[in-house]
Chains A and B, each alone.
Chain A
């Protein structure tokens, strides 16, 4: 690895000034655009989590070895593998190119990411479930949908709700970076404040992101305990 130590030394001197520039965080002067960005991030996180989860349910069912036929299984596993490979930000670059700037591109990128994440975990959870209950429900003559609803859904639900909230948390965090490539959200505001060297505003944005994530984290723990 090639490190330009001269540049590092120069940077450490500079970094003192740079870090000082972050303090005190300036919440006021860019407050309107910060609020706009944060709200946009929250909308993106919510919608992409919901859409992603809805889309990932059929894929996840198809990718569970004990439910699906072989060809379906391989097709769904393929979908999951592809949507998991590319980081959201690369997806966002392409969606921005296809659908234009704005939160819609970010929303799509996050949804695709959610499908890969949620579908894979759902499939693994279904594969690990207790087959006895499923057979019992089948034995009383349930149809396929009834079978899903009464034997499989209750078994995977508690974990899945927890994971859904976790994914909401991830999507919110990711929505802060899809803005860097033009996908809307707080990332755009953050990048602008970096580009204008307004580090005090940037510090304010970072603090807000951290505190929202903290709130989400605590509430997700609480909700998960309540569900189980």
Chain B
């Protein structure tokens, strides 16, 4: 335990001097990086616009109330679209993610040198491109509409599901797998009876979790023309009908809360 001699009393210290210095140095570097970045951002900011933000906010708030509830009637179809985009997208993603995960997991991949990097690349590229950007590309490919949204959500979710799933596969208990092998099971049987039962709970949890995230993401896909409630949001913002915007925001809030509640219930009952 590091102790400092002060006059005649020994004082307890949390770290040795050298460690303390290292910690301070780390903080110094962190603060320096932060202030540098902040400086660059503030150079690019027009502070006059920032300073009148409270007025703008008050102005916008006054335009947003009262919410135009009659607009709800036209929102039911887009809400349904949003939910089906999220659900179908999740289903597509899971169907593709399962084989990718098995190819990426170190203990099930057929070849660690060739197949695994490819699978990992699929995972990373699908994760690093945001669903909005996928949607942007797909809208030019297959036209604006729900299908572009479904495919975008699907492509985006593959990486997430496959990553969590392959980590689950790598963490399985090998005893069970070996027991199955010892009974003379083939490779396929070994997967089905040795590994699949162990990752089933994780698998179900991941899919529900991703579905919940997808609901949230699919609410904004409409901004680039890929269907769902985002289309209405975009239209209302560009026509400056703020009373409709507030209704849409409340609807999104409600949808997200409900989906979160549903997914929490399902996950609790699984785990």
Residues on A close to B: CB < 8 A?
1-4, 7-8, 11-12, 14-15, 18, 39-40, 42-44, 46-47, 50, 81, 85-87, 89-90, 93-94, 97-100, 102-104, 107, 150, 173-174, 176-177, 180-181, 184, 190-191, 194, 206, 209-210, 213-214, 217
On B, residues with C-beta under 8 Å from A are 14, 30, 33-34, 37-38, 40-42, 44-46, 49-50, 53, 56-57, 60, 81, 84, 88, 124-125, 127-130, 132-133, 136-137, 140-143, 145-147, 150, 216-217, 219-220, 223-224, 233, 237, 249, 252-253, 256-257
Chain B, residue nearest A7 (CB): B143
User: Roughly how many angstroms separate A99 CA and B53 CA in the complex, as a whole number?
Assistant: 6
Judged by DSSP, the binding face of A is helix
Who on chain B is nearest to A100 by CB? B49
Contact of B60 among A98, A103, A174, A190 (CB under 8 A): A98
CB-defined A-B contacts under 8 Å, sample of 9:
A1-B146, A3-B145, A12-B142, A18-B141, A85-B253, A89-B220, A176-B130, A210-B129, A213-B124
Question: Which one, B53, B133, B257, contacts A177 given CB within 8 A?
Answer: B133
Known: A46-B33, A85-B253, A104-B41. Is A90-B220 also a contact (CB below 8 A)?
Answer: yes
Which residues of B are found within 8 Å of A102, using beta-carbon distances? Answer: 44-46
Complex formed: what's the CA distance from A141 to B130 in Å?
50
Q: Which B residues are in CB contact (< 8 Å) with A43? A: 37-38, 40-41
Does B44 lie within 8 Å of A103, measured CB to CB?
A: yes
Closest chain B CB from A35 CB (angstroms): 13
Contact B50 A104 (CB under 8 A): yes
Q: Are A184 and B257 in contact (CB under 8 A)?
A: no
Among B41, B130, B216, which residue has its beta carbon within 8 angstroms of that of A173? Answer: B130
Is there contact, CB below 8 Å, between B56 and A103? no
Residues of B within 8 A of A176 (CB): 130, 133
- Residues of chain B within 8 A (CB-CB) of A40 are 40-41, 44
Contact of A98 among B46, B57, B136, B141 (CB under 8 A): B57
A46: shortest Cβ distance to chain B, in Å?
5
State in angstroms the CA–CA spacing of A169 and B140 once bound together. Answer: 28
Complexed CA–CA distance, A177 and B30 (Å): 26
Interface pair B84/A1, CB less than 8 Å apart: yes
Report the 5 A-B pairs with minimum CB-CB distance, sorted nearest first.
Answer: A100-B49, A213-B128, A43-B37, A104-B45, A11-B142
